[in-house]
């Protein structure tokens, strides 16, 4: 189905009102016969093309002057080996609903990633993660269509080059990659991985994937606003990774600061803690505000414009730079009139 000059407000969890020139709903692979010539036409006219999942990690900074492809490919196919469940999942499947489906069918492993908004096809792009687990821990392969050539490609998990909130799909040469299907492997012999998850002592004696799932759903529901009720795109900034010397200096000055050692003398800091420590919880510009319960989240209080969010994000970035000499990078993707952009460029053009 194709729509023209339509609103994207319902298609992004920030609930920012923006329009696109053309919206294409991709629900079946056979629609590529119609989609690929349209993409070619857009390219020939120097108009941008955006692949959109659930819009849960997107900030539309302006009306989009090209083609938005809404990926709605569904389906879950399950096979087994002696030790594992193998699940081939359509890129349009809702991520949390998929996690719930696995838990309900006694296939544990993904419980730490419960209640992360988005769809399956977006999970590898961002390499989503929470509570000590990451998408890369379970992805063994995926398929994508090159919108430029129309060719189907298959990548192994290793070939996806997963890193912290990163993957090969964020590289410029992969801008034409539309993920169609992802293959997930879950071990039949389940092992708990419950870092930073509060589990009561009685529950630990008979721990299960379902108990961790329930605990994480409760924690996330308490800490993070529901996009269906309050517009937001989840964690707005990445947790910064800094040199150990820098982290140690900050820790000496701020006892109790979250501190997560990484490899090669690097330490990951908690962006939410830095923002809270800078006194920014509840700070508001226009209809955008730093969330009172979780400073890592910027919310739409009901009437926020894209510029409100941009101005608040810049205030947060500059405040952390001034107070801690740490440069925060936004996790949310900024989409301008002509395609992907970033906070620095948007501020520069104001």
Catalogue the active-site residues: 165, 235, 331
DSSP code, position 166: B
Label residue 132 left, alpha or beta by phi (over 0 means left) and psi (-120 to 50 means alpha). Answer: left
Q: Are strands 19-26 and 64-71 parallel, antiparallel or unpaired?
A: parallel
DSSP code, position 240: P
Residue 341 contacts by C-beta under 8 Å, 6 or more apart in sequence? 61, 334, 335
Q: Is the dihedral of CA 35, 37, 39, 41 positive or negative?
A: negative
Are the CB atoms for 285 and 312 separated by under 8 Å? yes
CA 172, distance to chain mean position in Å, is 18
Q: State residue 313 phi and psi, 5-degree precision.
A: -60, -40
Q: Spell out the SS3 assignment of 131-147.
A: CCEEHHHCEEEEEEEEC
DSSP per-residue codes, 153-164: EEEETGGG--BT
Q: Is the dihedral of CA 275, 276, 278, 284 positive or negative?
A: positive
Closest by Cα among 114, 8, 122 to 63: 8
- In a 13 Å sphere around the CA of 29, the CA atoms on its Cβ side amount to 14
Q: Show the tokens assigned to 2.
A: 């194709």
- In a 13 Å sphere around the CA of 86, the CA atoms on its Cβ side amount to 10
Q: Show the tokens assigned to 236.
A: 């707005």
Report the alpha-carbon distance of residue 68 to residue 21 in Å, rounded: 8
Q: Show the tokens assigned to 304.
A: 């926020």
């Amino acid at each position: 189905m194709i729509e023209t000059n339509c609103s994207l407000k319902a298609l992004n969890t920030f609930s920012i009102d923006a329009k696109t020139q053309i919206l294409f709903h991709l629900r079946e692979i056979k629609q590529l016969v119609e989609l690929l010539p349209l993409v070619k036409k857009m390219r020939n006219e120097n108009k941008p093309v955006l692949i959109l999942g659930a819009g849960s990690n997107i900030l539309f900074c302006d009306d989009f002057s090209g083609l938005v492809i809404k990926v709605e490919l569904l389906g879950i196919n399950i096979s087994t080996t002696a030790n594992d469940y193998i699940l081939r999942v359509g890129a349009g499947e809702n991520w949390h609903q998929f996690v719930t489906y696995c838990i309900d069918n006694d296939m544990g492993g993904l419980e730490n990633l419960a209640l992360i908004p988005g769809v399956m096809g977006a999970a590898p792009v961002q390499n989503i993660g929470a509570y000590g687990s990451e998408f890369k821990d379970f992805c063994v392969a995926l398929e994508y269509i090159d919108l430029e050539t129309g060719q189907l490609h298959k990548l192994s998990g290793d070939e996806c080059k997963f890193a912290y909130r990163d993957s090969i799909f964020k590289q410029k040469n992969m801008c034409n990659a539309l993920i169609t299907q992802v293959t997930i492997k879950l071990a039949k012999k389940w092992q708990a991985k419950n870092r930073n998850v509060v589990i009561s002592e009685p529950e630990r004696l008979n721990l299960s994937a379902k108990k961790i799932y329930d605990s994480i759903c409760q924690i996330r529901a308490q800490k993070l606003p529901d996009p269906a009720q309050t517009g937001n795109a989840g964690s707005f900034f990445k947790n910064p990774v800094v040199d150990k010397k820098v982290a140690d200096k900050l820790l000496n000055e701020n006892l109790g600061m979250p501190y997560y050692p990484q490899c090669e003398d690097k330490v990951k800091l908690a962006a939410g803690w830095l923002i809270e420590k800078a006194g920014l919880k509840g700070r508001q510009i226009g209809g955008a505000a730093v969330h009172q319960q979780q400073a890592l989240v910027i919310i739409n209080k009901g009437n926020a414009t894209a510029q409100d969010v941009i101005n608040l994000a810049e205030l947060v970035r500059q405040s952390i730079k001034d107070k801690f000499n740490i440069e925060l990078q936004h996790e949310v993707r900024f989409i301008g009139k002509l395609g992907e952009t970033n906070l620095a460029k948007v501020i520069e053009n104001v």
